[in-house]
Amino acid sequence: MNLTILHLYPKEMNLYGDHGNVLVLKRRCEWRGIKVNIIEHNIGDELPAKCDIIFGGGGQDSGQQRIAEDLRNNGKALKAWAEDGMPTLLVCGIYQLFGNFFKMQDGVTIEGISVLDIETEAGDKRLIGNIVIESGKFGDIVGYENHSGLTELGNDIKPLGKVTRGYGNNGSDGAEGVFYKNTIGTYMHGPLLPKNPRIADFLIKTALERKYGAQKDFEKLPDKLEQKARKIAMERPR
């Protein structure tokens, strides 16, 4: 078996070790004997005709402005994939741009690609610190957040989870991230996947099912180390 991971804008959108998410997906596939091909999509590149998992990370405001046009040029294909159930992980900056818009601190608005019905405006202070959320599907999710954007969800889109410690989407409604079809959007880095292997395995398993059918023998990997690191992260000061 083999999977192709599409990594969106690895140069501009890799602020908080986001590249680690791709590494986790790659290794957890390899450890299961699944071959991995990573396609990096940079500004001006053509999107591949096919892929199995999509990942995009966070960037500075300036990075977001640089990629926005290219992202919009590819918006149609990315939207079609999301609607079709493509397993996708979007962190921070790219999460915002998969929404309707991001209005920055200086008042300039970057139009998004409206894959997700969310809207983001920069707030006065950065929301920074360790964060834990409770999600039904993945249990507790642990990470670190650092964003100025405040994101509101549309009526028909569900959050990834409920904040138990930290700020989340906007620091006021207790919601964090989105979970739409198989697309996960979130402000949580750390990076997200090393300490939340259930999400990594969900993306991989879903990709395999879409490509090869049911995965009854999907191998469980040891996760003692992950459990320990999660527990410590949950107890550290914010």
Answer whether 233's CB lies under 8 Å from 227's CB: no
From the candidates 7, 41, 147, 189, give the one annotated as an active-site residue: 189
Question: Which x/- pattern over 8-47 shows residues binding another protein (rule: CB under 8 A)?
Answer: --xxx-xxxxxxx--xx--x--------------------
CA dihedral angle for residue 40, residue 148, residue 238, residue 154, rounded to 10 degrees: -80
Contact 207, 53 (CB under 8 A): yes
19 an active-site residue? no
Residue placing its CB nearer to another protein in the complex, 153 or 193 = 193
Structure tokens at 112: 């998004």
> Binding string to another protein for residues 111 to 130, with x set by CB under 8 A, is what?
---------------x-xxx
Q: How far is the CB of 126 from another protein (least distance, A)?
A: 6
* Catalytic residue (one of 41, 51, 92, 147): 92
Task: Tell me the pairing of strands 53-56 and 2-8.
Answer: parallel
Residues 90, 188: contact at Cβ < 8 Å?
no
Residue 144 is a binding residue for another protein (CB under 8 A): yes
- Residue whose CB is less far from another protein, 34 or 128: 128
For 149, the enclosing helix (H) or strand (E) is strand 139-153
Site string for another protein, 75-114 (x = CB under 8 A): ----------------------------------------
What are the counts of helices (DSSP H) followed by strands (DSSP E) for the chain?
7, 12
Coil, helix or strand at residue 65 = helix
Q: Which residues bind another protein (CB under 8 A)?
A: 10-12, 14-20, 23-24, 27, 59-63, 66, 126, 128-130, 144, 146, 148, 189-191, 194-195, 225-226, 228-229, 232-233, 236-238
